[in-house]
């Protein structure tokens, strides 16, 4: 990793905050949690947003995880992707092949997804790449979500693009207890 991330014993208050972020998970503390705590004050503010997406989502949990897996998979954030694939993937009934395709590209495995899920991932890709949505993607999302869910979708894509940047820039590897990216055969 490019920066030294905090390890136990943590500064005052950091251990408690990290435990809240772990939300009862028995996994080894994710390095991304520790990396955010290089700047504890900022971590305390961003943690509220991250926890809000996971604990108070208005979108379906399956849609939320498809969005997160696609953003983190598309942008090569194996650490964050591995956490979501392992912790939430099967809980929202994503198959191993579906999880793989969030990394390799859903259009290469279109038979694995419903037409709506394919459109959802296309909207994720469009927003993540351009910071905008064309009329086709907007119309699809508008028919699927109410106003609050639309705001949640936009912010969810942006937040996990930010988390992906943290993982990539800091060179945070796949979580050791979690499912790695699929092999690409190269």
CATH of residue 73? 1.20.1290.10
Report if residue 38 sits inside a domain.
no
d(CA 139, CA 128): 17
d(CA 67, CA 154): 10
**pLDDT confidence of residue 186:** 47
Query: Which pLDDT tens digits describe the chain residue by residue (186 residues)?
Result: 999 999 999 988 999 999 999 888 899 999 999 999 999 999 999 989 998 899 999 999 999 999 999 999 999 999 999 999 999 999 999 999 999 999 999 887 889 999 999 999 999 999 999 999 999 999 999 999 999 999 999 999 999 999 999 999 999 999 999 999 998 654
**pLDDT confidence of residue 24:** 86
The single residue listed with the structure tokens 């900022």 is 42
**pLDDT confidence of residue 108:** 77
Report if residue 95 sits inside a domain.
yes
Domain of 66 in residue numbering reads as 59-169
* pTM attached to this predicted model: 0.95
What count of residues does the chain have?
186
Q: Would you give the DSSP letter of residue 109?
A: G
Report if residue 107 sits inside a domain.
yes
CA-closest candidate to residue 160, choices 43, 59, 68, 45:
68
**pLDDT confidence of residue 136:** 98
d(CA 142, CA 136): 10
Report if residue 154 sits inside a domain.
yes
Domain total in the chain = 1
Report if residue 24 sits inside a domain.
no
Report if residue 76 sits inside a domain.
yes
Residue 185: burial class (beta carbons within 10 Å; 0-12, 13-18, 19+): exposed
Report if residue 48 sits inside a domain.
no
**pLDDT confidence of residue 184:** 65
Report if residue 30 sits inside a domain.
no
d(CA 84, CA 126): 21
Residue 55 CB coordination number (10 Å): 8
Residue 1 CB coordination number (10 Å): 12
């Amino acid at each position: 990793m490019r920066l030294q991330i905090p390890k136990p014993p943590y500064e005052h208050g950091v251990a408690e905050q990290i435990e809240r972020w772990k939300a009862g998970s028995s996994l080894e503390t994710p390095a991304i949690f520790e990396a955010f705590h290089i700047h504890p004050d900022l971590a305390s503010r961003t943690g509220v947003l991250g926890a809000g997406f996971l604990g108070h989502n208005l979108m379906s949990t399956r849609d939320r995880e498809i969005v997160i897996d696609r953003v983190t998979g598309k942008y090569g954030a194996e650490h964050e992707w591995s956490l979501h694939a392992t912790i939430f993937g099967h809980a929202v009934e994503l198959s191993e092949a579906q999880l793989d395709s969030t990394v390799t590209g859903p259009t290469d495995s279109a038979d694995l997804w419903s037409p709506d899920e394919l459109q959802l991932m296309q909207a994720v890709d469009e927003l993540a790449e351009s910071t905008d949505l064309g009329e086709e993607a907007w119309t699809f999302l508008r028919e699927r979500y109410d106003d609050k869910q639309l705001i949640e979708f936009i912010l969810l894509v942006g937040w996990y693009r930010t988390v992906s940047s943290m993982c990539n820039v800091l060179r945070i590897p796949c979580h050791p207890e979690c499912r790695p990216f699929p092999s690409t055969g190269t």
